[in-house]
Structure formats: C-alpha cells, structure tokens
Structure 1
Amino acid sequence: MSEERNGPRWGRWIAVGLVVAVGWGMIHGGDHPGTPSASASGPSTSSSPAASGPSSAPAPTRLRDYDPADYAKPVREYAAQAGVNPQLVMAILYNESYKPHDPDLERAWQRGKPDASFGIANMHRAAFDDTKKGRDFASRRWEELPDDRDLAVQAESWHLRDLADQLPAKPSGPYTRDELLALGYNTGSSNMLAFARGAKPGPQAQSYLDRLHDNWQKSADAVK
C-alpha cells in the first residue's frame, strides 16, 4: 500500500537497519539482522487466537531470504476463499516487496513512523481493522502482521475482495478489474472508483501499475 515511496526510502531503511543491527548485536551476541537466526520469530498463530486457512508457508526469515513466490500456497488458498485472482494477490506481494520485510526492521521503522504499514502486503492499521470485521481472523491484531505472513496474505486477499465489491459491474475506464483493484490497494477505494470512471492515475499510481505489469507473468508462474 502507498507510503514511504517518495524520497530516499532505501537510505532511510539503511539508517533504520544500522540502528537495529546495533541493538541486535548487543542482545544476541553479534548476529546480523540480514542473516537467519534461531531467535527469529515465526508465525504467531500458536500464541494468538486461531486463524483459519493454511499455516504451511515458511516462517518469517531475515532480509535476504524473502521471496513472494515462497508464499504461493497461502496465496492460492486465501485468494480462493476471498474469490479474487491469486495472480493479482501474488503480483501485489511483488509490488510491495520494495522494502525489507524483516520483523525487527518493520517495528523499528514503525516506532519512528507510527502510520507505517506492516507485513509483507504492507497493510496499514485502519485497512486491516476494517478488513477483519466479521472474518475468521477478526480476533487477530495488526501488530501480528510482521511475524505472521499467512495472516498478511489472508488480510490482503480479503481487502481486495472488499475493494472488488465496490467496483461497478462495468467500469467505464480503460483498466481491467485486476488493474483497478491493484490501484485501489495502493491509493484507496475513492481513487479506485475515480479510475473506474476514466480518471488518469498520477505518477505514483501509474508507477505502481507499471510494476504490476512487470510482475504479472512471474506471479502467474508462481501460483500455477
């Protein structure tokens, strides 16, 4: 979802990484946050209210190891539950992989930027809280997203379902429904509806759409 893309985002992540690396080294005897560690937290479903659906995806790992394709199984299953295109769900994960999805880094970043997004699908708190209402994961918390990647995929899939329910049956603009849903995920439902009526995306939204196109084929390969 849209947030830290403007400005030198990687420079800011590197700065956060240095802070976390120092703290990690003090606590864990020098382990680098970019390498797997025995103390890395896995999915939180065992200590949280049970979430429905698959729990067989790999546990969260450190920076170098995240590949959205590793989560093809939960993508397929949650997309089917929500009635959305699994290729779209996967393509959005690729779009949102621009920042390091490491639990420690995400929390360090969020402490300085409380409105930051969490999890591999980069979901904001308000979007997560709206999406979970009446769903099988209604008892889960937004703060769990960095540690539970299945939950992040589940929430993304149902958020796309909610966006799809708002689209007109026959949008008048030039975009496909999947393109509109991706734009809605990035810019919000109001902008999505404007695009459905033919409004032209701004530079940031167009960049998101361009990356979706770039990631589209490998997303199909990942979920087939």
Structure 2
Amino acid sequence: MTVTRSRRRGPAVVLVVLLAAVCYGAVRAAGGLPSGSAPRPVPAVPSPSPASPTAPARPSATATAGPYDPADQAAQVRLRAGQAGVSARLLMAILYNESYKPHEPGLERAWQKYKPDAAFGIANMHRATYDATKKDRDFANRSWDELPDDRDLAVEAAAWYLHDLAAVLPAQWAGPYSRNDLLALGYNTGQGNMLAFARGATPGSQARSYLDELHAHWTEAGRAVGS
C-alpha cells in the first residue's frame, strides 16, 4: 500500500502543471468538459449503511474551480479527524503538504489520463490505498473516482488512513521521530516504510523533504483547526 510521491518543486512542478493544462485543454476541445469554470456535477450521496445507523449526514461535496486553500476544509478536518481518532492538526498539515499541485477536478482527471497511476483528491490518495482504507467504513460504497469532486470524502479517507497507520505503529520506536512524524511519513511512503523508520531506518531525501514541509506547515495547520 505504498504511496510514495515525489516532493520536488521548481521546473518539475511547472512542467506537470503545464502538461495538465494542455491535457485539460485537449479534453475541452474534444467536448469532454463544459466551458467556463463551473464545477463538475456531483454524484448523488448515498445514505448511511444499515451497519452504521448513527453515521452523520454527509455534507454537500465541496469541489470548486479556482484557488484552493486547505484552511477552507477546517470544519471537515476537525469532524473527520474526530471520527477517526486522529490529530486534526496533523491531518490539516498533511493537506497543506499535499496542496502543491492544482486541485481542480478537470485538471486532476486530465492529468490522470496522461498518468493513470496519479493520485486523486485534495489529500492525493492513490486508488489502492483508498480501496484498502474504505473497507467496512461508512464510505465503503464510494468510488476513488469521486475524490476530485468531493473534498469531504478526500478528507474522510485521509483521516481513516492515518487511523489505520496509527493502529500498527508500535508503542515504542527508535530514532528521533515523534508519533506525528512517523504517521506523516507513513502517509507519504506507506505502512512498510513507516515501520522501517520506527525501527531506526533513515528516510531518503524525498521523505525527509516531506517531513520538513510538515514541520513548516505545523503552525498554520494549528491555526486553521484552532489548536
């Protein structure tokens, strides 16, 4: 369930954005997307499963065109982190880490046509990770393909993935990393790598960069969720 992603910035990110924009333009030209900046229609939201009669009603999907600010998801981060029993501040900091690319549904889908293994949604989750995380959860009947259109679903899935990582983290570990550090490294590189880091393995440059960014975002993440 490894979810390793490159964290490089600079020319590489510019190239990604430009390629995504070209793909997006091509899809529009072919009539695959509506003109203008109106968001894609949102799939109907299913009722809670009988196994979870007290599950809260899901709010309307929140995908929009235009600039994306992770702090706009603060209410959903607090809600979903509380349900999953994870730190809202950690979840918000991860959303800041994952905000390095455009999170507009049309652009995400255009890029995915070019790179089928690309991640979806504001939490940048890969299909295999999402499918493993959703099992026996309230969103078990929701598809990975819905993540670009439903930011609340993306936050919910990320919260429960952190929950699952925390469940296998040992009570004690070697090395200088905090619990939040290890969970963030697990989110970025997968459960197996997280456990290796807990045993004392040294993160590579990309994982180290991800952790540095998490620390850089920690103050604004706390401010966003009120902690």
Structure 1 runs, 4 residues or longer, greater than 6 Å off: none
Q: Which residue of 2 aligns with 1:164?
A: 166
Amino acid at match of 2:217: N
Amino acid at match of 2:161: H
Give TM-score scaled by structure 1 length.
0.88
What are the residue-to-residue correspondences of 1:6-45 with 2, within 5 Å?
Answer: 8-24=12-28, 27=31, 31=36, 36-37=37-38, 40-41=39-40, 43-44=42-43
Quickly say closer, same or farther: Cα 1:165–1:29, change in 2 above 3 A.
closer
Q: Which residue of 2 aligns with 1:180?
A: 182
**In the alignment, structure 1 residue 140 sits paired with structure 2 residue 142:** yes
Q: Counterparts of 2:34 and 2:89 in 1: how far apart (Å)?
A: 41
- Unpaired runs of at least 5, structure 2: 49-54
Secondary structure (helix, strand or coil) at the match of 1:63 reads coil
Amino acid at match of 2:132: D
Aligned residues: 215
8 Å CA contact 2:6, 2:206 repeated in 1: no
Quickly say closer, same or farther: Cα 1:222–1:53, change in 2 above 3 A.
farther
Q: Which residue of 1 aligns with 2:110?
A: 108
Secondary structure (helix, strand or coil) at the match of 2:195 reads helix
Give TM-score scaled by structure 2 length.
0.87
Secondary structure (helix, strand or coil) at the match of 1:163 reads helix
Amino acid at match of 2:152: D
Quickly say closer, same or farther: Cα 1:213–1:11, change in 2 above 3 A.
same
What RMSD in Å do the two structures reach over aligned CA positions?
A: 2.1
Quickly say closer, same or farther: Cα 1:88–1:19, change in 2 above 3 A.
same
Residue 54 of structure 1: CA displacement?
Answer: 6.2
8 Å CA contact 2:61, 2:150 repeated in 1: no
Q: Counterparts of 1:67 and 1:58 in 2: how far apart (Å)?
A: 16
Secondary structure (helix, strand or coil) at the match of 1:8 reads helix
Quickly say closer, same or farther: Cα 1:113–1:22, change in 2 above 3 A.
closer
Greater relative contact order: 1 or 2 (C-alpha under 8 angstroms, separation 6 or more)? 2
